Amino acid sequence: MAANFWTSTQRAHWQLTREKIADMRKALDEEDTNRGLGLSYPLPDHKQLQLYFHSCLQRLARRLQLRQQPLATAETYLKRFYLKVSIRDTNPYLMLSTCVYLACKMEECPQHIRGVVNEARALFQEFIPTDIAKLAECEFHLISELNSYLIVHHPYRTLMEVQTPLKLSSDEIMAALSFLNDSYITDLILLYPPHTIAFTAIFLAVFVRPAIHTQANLNASGSTAMTISGGGAGASGNGSNSIVPSPTTQSSAVSAASTVGPQSSARLSQMSDWFAESGVEMEGIIECTQEMISLYDTWETWTDKVCRESVARLIRGRQLS
Amino acid sequence: MEDQSLRPSSAPATSTSIMPLPPYTSKVKVLDKYHIIGFISSGTYGRVYKARSRHPGTTGEFAIKKFKPDKEGEVVNYTGISQSACREMALNSELAHENVIHLHEIILEDKCIYMVFEYAEHDLLQIVHHHSHPERRLIPEATVRSILWQLLNGVSYLHQNWVMHRDLKPANIMVTAAGEVKIGDLGLARVFWKPLAALFNGDKVVVTIWYRAPELLLGSRHYTAAIDLWAVGCIFAELLALRPIFKGEEAKMDSKKTVPFQRNQMQKIVEILGTPTKERWQSITQLPEYPQMATFKPYNCNLETWYHQVGATNKMGYELLSGLLEFDPVKRLTAQQALEHRYFTEGPKLSLNAFEGSFIEYPHRRVSSDDNDIRTSSLPGTKRSGLPDDSLQPRTKRMKAGD
């Protein structure tokens, strides 16, 4: 159903397990190896690529002045697609542009196909074919692999619904929004129901972020940037500001979360009660939190250079553009 | 001196690794899976064919909706899938209800979209036509009640799932041979849970003019699901009267693509329901086209007279009709309220087979078997072989701001 996650195609067909996702990726990799593609076109680890595709999508969304929701839908489409088709069999830039084009239609903020192609070309130059028919053909491929299941349930909705009962401050809401935006770099949307992801972001925003903040006060600048840019993402509504947290503060923040003061421990138990009453599985929230921490760890050493070069080599080599 | 050959090369190592991607091809071929029985109808979207599955285990018949590919001269090119095809694919894949047409599968092949639906033998346009030609014979009340209840049940399901149909009209309401009502054509439907922008900013014109709610005619920017209930009211009236209740003439869009005030349509409504006042519809004065209304001659409500004139007698039916044709969208019955109305709960037991106890034989959908080449790229425009389709009715204009 369009508004009910429990009967949605997302839950029925696109809620996977970690094992399943690993198997699907492994099968694609093995096939690439068998065809000699793996050797000819080495690609960085999928976590690295996810960061890269996320940043590409975000830059394209910013140029098109998109809001967070169509961007999140596009990110979800791309993740689903690359579980079924090898990256090496695609032009990733064309693919992610197609995801944006389709997501805009589905989120009822359609963009002209020519406009998407033009903006994508401004970012990815010769890797995007000028002919709009190429992107339109790619759309067929995308919809076909997604089995026409195009409606995506996002955690943003849960966040909006619970902000009043959970008495979230506007700072906390902004921070939670930023965590949600970052969650699309990970596989969370393929693994958990949207409300679990939303509660994770709230948990991080209420208990982990203040720790970051305290840490920031001690260490001077660093992570204050995170609070500010996080706020910007929510307030402007176009979600174009990414948080690139300073890695050191991130990791220390997480450890700091375990040493919360008496006031927040009262709030923690209050919120845990509320989560328990709503039937939210704490286990899921803990797993999601770990996933987010692992993301910030990867982010620490990540640069787009390797990804950019290997994708360029792939597209040139396979004459995809 | 550094040996250049030892440096890693950025170009692929061998020519064997150059493997250009093949073009998109469908894994499923429509003709491998289906036997096309013949052509049913055509519209602006494309054409509909009747088909049977070639798979021995899959019984029953299907209606395959082929979306028209865009053509530049004789060459068919990919141009991007239309917003309405996207909506229909996505919503029909997501929805599952006995009163919403079931989507069997979607095949994307050769630059065309084929949506394979369950087949329905009849539609309300055809049923109304059968009762008005050659001579006028009322539709049995049991049939009207059953159709209306099932229609409301489907609308209620859509609304519970935050889907607005936005193009309910007799031609879009199917009835199977077993008398089950199926709401079809979700090409204008959309999710209305916290829209990212005002609905008005999307599609400038929604709902075929005869079924268009007064708040839309008066230019409301933030309309609600109540527009679907107005359309249901109009369909109910049409099942009773065997002709559209408000058969206005559509004012054409001017060259600047500004949406004109539909004076004639509003006039038709006011002639039967009376002039809406601030007392009947509190927020009416805030609507953009309200000043236009002020020039209308005042009318009293004549709905009851109209109801008797068309030969309807059931008092509770009149109550329900006036609840659906309520000017104020806030006061208009919701689908759920309408389902609980006395018209359904009192009197003889309601059947979920619209034809139960009826001896009327409705003609089968006409299918022309001489036109069964689904692969032909000939443009739609060939007239529907059976009864008049919505080409005789004003069509909803599907215009999007983004196009």
Q: What is the mean pLDDT of residues B48-70?
A: 89
Distance from the Cα of residue B356 to its chain's centroid: 26
Indicate which CATH number applies to the domain containing B93: 3.30.200.20
Show residues of chain A in contact with B89, CB under 8 Å: 143, 148, 150
Helix (H), strand (E) at residue B37: strand B34-42
Look at residue A115 and give its three-state secondary structure: helix
Q: Across the A/B interface, how many CB contacts are shorter than 8 Å? A: 140
**pLDDT band for position B349 (50/70/90)?**
very high
What does the alpha-carbon distance between residue B223 and residue B232 come to, in Å, rounded to a whole number? 16
Please judge whether B91 and A144 are an interchain contact, meaning their C-beta atoms are less than 8 angstroms apart.
Answer: no
Mean pLDDT, rounded, of chain A: 83
CA of B45 vs chain A CAs: smallest distance (Å): 17
Of the candidates B70, B110, B167, B371, the residue annotated as catalytic is B167
Domain annotation covers residue B107: yes
Domains, chain A:
5-152+303-317 (1.10.472.10), 156-301 (no CATH)
Indicate which CATH number applies to the domain containing B169: 1.10.510.10
Asked whether the predicted pLDDT for residue A219 surpasses 50, the reply is: no
**Total tally of structural domains belonging to chain B:** 2
Q: Residues B77, B109: one domain?
A: yes
pLDDT (tens digit, 9 = 90+) per residue, B183-216? 999 989 888 876 555 666 667 678 889 999 999 9
Checking ipTM against 0.85, whether it exceeds it is no
Q: Residues B183, B276: one domain?
A: yes
B51 contact partners, CB below 8 Å, separation of at least 6: B34, B35, B36, B37, B61, B62, B63, B64, B116, B374
pLDDT (tens digit, 9 = 90+) per residue, B314-345? 999 999 999 999 999 999 999 999 999 999 99
A183 contact partners, CB below 8 Å, separation of at least 6: A155, A189, A197, A200, A201, A288, A292
pLDDT (tens digit, 9 = 90+) per residue, A14-66? 999 999 999 999 999 999 999 988 888 999 999 999 999 999 999 999 999 99
pLDDT (tens digit, 9 = 90+) per residue, A222-247? 333 333 333 333 333 333 333 344 34
Domain annotation covers residue B1: no
Domain annotation covers residue B10: no
User: What's the confidence (pLDDT) of residue B122?
Assistant: 97
Q: Residues B161, B75: one domain?
A: no
User: What's the confidence (pLDDT) of residue A263?
Assistant: 67
Look at residues B188, B130, B179, B122 and name the one whose alpha carbon lies nearest to residue B150.
B179
User: What's the confidence (pLDDT) of residue A277?
Assistant: 80
Q: Residues B102, B241: one domain?
A: no
Q: Residues B261, B201: one domain?
A: yes
Cis status, amide bond into B134, omega within 30 of 0: yes
Share of chain B above pLDDT 70, in %: 83
Which residue, B99, B118, B137, sits at the end of a domain?
B118
For B8, counting Cβ atoms within 10 Å of its Cβ (0-12 exposed, 13-18 middle, 19+ buried), the class is exposed
Q: Residues B144, B246: one domain?
A: yes
Please judge whether A105 and B81 are an interchain contact, meaning their C-beta atoms are less than 8 angstroms apart.
Answer: yes
Q: Would the pTM of this model clear 0.90, i.e. be above it?
A: no
User: What's the confidence (pLDDT) of residue B222?
Assistant: 85
Domain annotation covers residue B6: no
Q: Residues B83, B181: one domain?
A: no
Annotated active-site residue B32? The verdict is: no
Which residue, B118, B142, B172, sits at the end of a domain?
B118
Q: Residues B103, B129: one domain?
A: no
User: What's the confidence (pLDDT) of residue B396?
Assistant: 57
Domain that holds residue B100: 30-118
Is the Cβ–Cβ distance between A105 and B91 less than 8 Å? Answer: no
Kindly state whether B162 is in contact with chain A, defined as any CB-CB distance less than 8 angstroms.
yes
Phi then psi dihedrals of residue B353, to 5 deg: -110, 110
Alpha-helix runs per DSSP H in chain A? 9-13, 18-34, 37-40, 46-63, 68-84, 92-106, 113-124, 132-145, 156-162, 170-183, 188-191, 194-203, 209-218, 224-236, 247-257, 262-277, 282-301, 304-317
User: Which residue do the tokens 């000017």 mark?
Assistant: B327
Asked whether the predicted pLDDT for residue A121 surpasses 60, the reply is: yes
Between residues A220 and B303, which one has the greater pLDDT?
B303
Q: Give the closest of A112, A148, A318 to B18, CB-based.
A: A318
CA of B274 vs chain A CAs: smallest distance (Å): 36
Look at residue B117 and give its three-state secondary structure: strand
Q: Residues B334, B281: one domain?
A: yes
Share of chain A above pLDDT 70, in %: 81
Q: Residues B128, B114: one domain?
A: no
pLDDT (tens digit, 9 = 90+) per residue, B211-223? 999 999 999 888 9
CA of A223 vs chain B CAs: smallest distance (Å): 31
Kindly state whether A147 is in contact with chain B, defined as any CB-CB distance less than 8 angstroms.
yes
Please judge whether B191 and A7 are an interchain contact, meaning their C-beta atoms are less than 8 angstroms apart.
Answer: no
A49, A54, A56, A57 alpha-carbon torsion, rounded to 10°: 140
Kindly state whether A110 is in contact with chain B, defined as any CB-CB distance less than 8 angstroms.
yes
